[in-house]
Structures are given as structure tokens and as C-alpha cells.
Amino acid sequence: MLMKEYRICMPLTVEEYRIGQLYMISKHSHEQSDRGEGVEVVQNEPYEDPNHGNGQLTEKRVYLNSKLPSWARAVVPKIFYVTEKAWNYYPYTITEYTCSFLPKFSIHIETKYEDNKGSNDSIFDKEAKDLEREVCFIDIASDEIPERYYKESEDPKYFKSQKTGRGQLKEGWRDTHQPIMCSYKLVTVKFEVWGLQTRVEQFVHKVVRDILLIGHRQAFAWVDEWYDMTMDDVREYEKNMHEKTNIKVCNQHSSTVDEIESHAQARVCQFLKRIAHPQLIHLHRSERSNQLILLTSQWNLGEVLLQQEQKLSPGSAILPSLCTVNCHRYMTMDEVREFERATQEATNKKIGIFPPAISISNISMPSSTRSAPSSAPSTPLSTDAPEFLTVPKDRPRKKSAPETLTLPDPAKKTL
């Protein structure tokens, strides 16, 4: 898990940005949608929460395969989308991003808006007081954006609003400009897959930061388009833009959701097999024992399962739990043992049967010795000492000392 807090100041008030935020999101989504990629709006309706009161619930599908780096495209299917759910209780919002065929991946964003220049260091004390996080300030006037998204007409350094007189922001504008507000965003990214976690989480935060910078620049640069709108006006505009955007995105996707997810699961499974490492399997030790047996059998089967799954028993074509969201059903131990047996038979057919490499000889060996490799001497089993260790019987005894000891006579001792 990687958590960061982003603070983005705007030359607006919190009340003004209520309209500007809705306008910017709708227009930005429409502009970024083309040739089957972009944002499809699935749901947009009023929602009431017991704690936060009345708000708006929005659900979207974000198709973005071509915007992924090459190493990420190797993991995901050709038709790849992320589900976005947003609860807008302005000036507090919650946004979640998930992917049905990458269950270990999620993005959680909590946003609060205040009329200040990003000086409230305790704004998320209730949500993340004791959690370690990096605080990142984003300057809509000075920070660079990816070159492909740059437009001079949307650059706050050059843009000046005709209706508000605000604009042409110079370095240090946050210290002197009035009015000023700040979007505080607490962003948590999770991708709990061994070997890819750090890389993916850092990449996602980079993408999130770029999106926040571009979106807030556009919200200010388009201020003359939305400044005179009421809430009813912007909701009507939002509805019309959603319909147009859906037409641009959805016409390219004739496959059903089940087909997309089935294809996605297969692609992710194949990728993980290519980078297989013992610790990937350890991730499932906390799961049910029969699920671990199922995973191990499928891992060994590899492509045989993908090619011959129709020959196996019903319910056997379940992808490894690392890549699967909804299994066909939970197997009993008897069922998983049966699947294991069928899987092993299919694997053996793939490998083939090898003749034994060891032959058995009928030649009898002497009882007193055992055969050994030619490079090692044979070891006798007799209890008699070998000849080179036997002491000759006729060898004379060596006299190393006299047989008797003579002591001097004290009486003969001269004084």
C-alpha cells in the first residue's frame, strides 16, 4: 500500500468550484474518449448516506488499454477497463477504482475542499491520523504536465478569465491571490502482488498526479464556460455529455462483460505463469487448503488446462485464485482431489511416458563383497584384518629398556 496526500490550490472559492468540478469532469471525460477508449457512464443518480447526507452516486467504466506502459499491457487483456465509483457529498467526496479481474488492485481517494491555501495539516486526522503518508503540493501554474496534454489556452500562466478577471498566475501566486481554495486529496493505492507491487503503486501515483494537475488546470481555464451556470444547468450539461461520451466509447465494445472478464482472466493467468516464482504461491497459504491444492495443480498444468479444459470434469476450469474474482463454485475436498487427479493425467499426457533409465541385472555378486564404482576400492566384509595391517609372528621383540632395574647401594656412597 502506498498513500500520499495531494494539495491543489485554485483561484476560486469552494462554492464556485462546486459547479466547476462537475463541468470539468464531464467535458474532460468526453474529450479523452475516442475510438472505443475513455469513460462510459453506467450510473449517475442521487444518493443519501446516513452520515454524510444527500449526495450523488456515479459509476463509470474507464477504458484505457492504449494509455498503459508496455509492461502493464502484457498483464491486462486488450479490452481493459477500471470501474470507478464516486460518492459526492460536496465539499467531501469519496472515489474508488477497482478492476474485476485484478482483485489485488484498488485506488481509494478521499477529497475535502476548504477556502485556504493548503495550510490545514490536520484535515485528514480522522481518516488517517496515524498512517504514514507523503504530502505533495501541486501548483497548477508552475508544475509541468505531459507534453501531449499541453494547450496554451489552458495554461494558467497565460489564461485570463473575461468574466472574473482572474488569471495569468505568476510564481508564488498562492501566497497573495484572493480568492483561493484548496483540494485536499488522500490517495491510497494497493496492488498486493509479489514482485510487482512497488512498481505498479508508484506508476499509479504518477498517473494520478498528472490527472489531478490537468483536471484542475482545465477547471480554471474553462471558468468562463461554467461560471454563470446553476446546479440544474450543470446537471443537464452533465447528462448530455454522458450520453455523447457513451456513444463514442460503447460502439467499439460488442463483447459482453462476461466475455471480457473471461479473456482477461486467461491473459493475466498466462502472464503470471511466465514469471512464476515460489513466493507467488505462498500468497495463497492463508486460503482454504483445497483452493491451494487446486492452484498448485493448475500451475503445473499450464497451457494444457487452457487447451484441454473442455475435456475435464465440469467446474474444473477455474483459474488460479490470484487471477480469479468469482470462482464457478467452492469445491469440496473430494471434488478438488478428483480435479487434481484429472489434471495430473492431462499433464502426464502432455509430457509423455519415459522408459526407465535403470536396468536390473541377474548376475549374482560374491557374498563377501559389495560392488562399487570402479573409481572406489571394494570394501571387504571379512572380520580378519587385511594383510598389510597384520603383524609378522616371527618378528623379534624390540628391547627398548633393560629387563631389570639396578639401584645404587647407599653404603658404598662416598661422602
- Name the pLDDT band for 278 (thresholds 50, 70, 90): very low
Angstrom distance (rounded) from CA 159 to CA 220: 9
Phi, psi of 237 (to 5 degrees): -60, -45
Q: Is the pLDDT of residue 137 over 80?
A: yes
Greatest mean pLDDT among 199-203, 304-308, 379-383 lies in: 199-203
Do residues 370 and 379 make contact, with C-beta atoms less than 8 angstroms apart? yes
Do residues 252 and 34 make contact, with C-beta atoms less than 8 angstroms apart? no
Q: Which of 51-55, 124-128, 148-152 has the lowest average pLDDT?
A: 124-128
- Name the pLDDT band for 334 (thresholds 50, 70, 90): confident
Give the model's pLDDT for residue 232: 95
In the structure grid, which three cell numbers stand for residue 73, read together?
499491457
- Name the pLDDT band for 290 (thresholds 50, 70, 90): very low
Q: Summarize the confidence of residues 193-221 as an average pLDDT.
A: 92
Q: Is the pLDDT of residue 331 over 70?
A: no
- Among 228, 115, 91, which residue's Cα sits nearest to residue 178? 115
Give the model's pLDDT for residue 284: 44
Q: Which of 56-70, 300-314, 340-354, 355-369 has the lowest average pLDDT?
A: 300-314
- Name the pLDDT band for 411 (thresholds 50, 70, 90): low
Angstrom distance (rounded) from CA 364 to CA 367: 9
Angstrom distance (rounded) from CA 126 to CA 1: 19
What is the side-by-side strand order in the sheet with 81-89?
A: 38-49, 53-63, 81-89, 92-98, 105-114, 181-191, 2-10, 134-138
Greatest mean pLDDT among 68-72, 79-83, 302-306, 406-410 lies in: 79-83
Per residue in 159-195, pLDDT tens?
A: 999 999 999 999 999 999 999 999 999 999 999 888 8
Do residues 14 and 181 make contact, with C-beta atoms less than 8 angstroms apart? yes
- Name the pLDDT band for 340 (thresholds 50, 70, 90): confident
Per residue in 348-395, pLDDT tens?
A: 776 665 555 555 555 555 554 444 444 444 444 555 555 655 556 565
Q: Summarize the confidence of residues 404-408 as an average pLDDT.
A: 63
Give the model's pLDDT for residue 83: 92
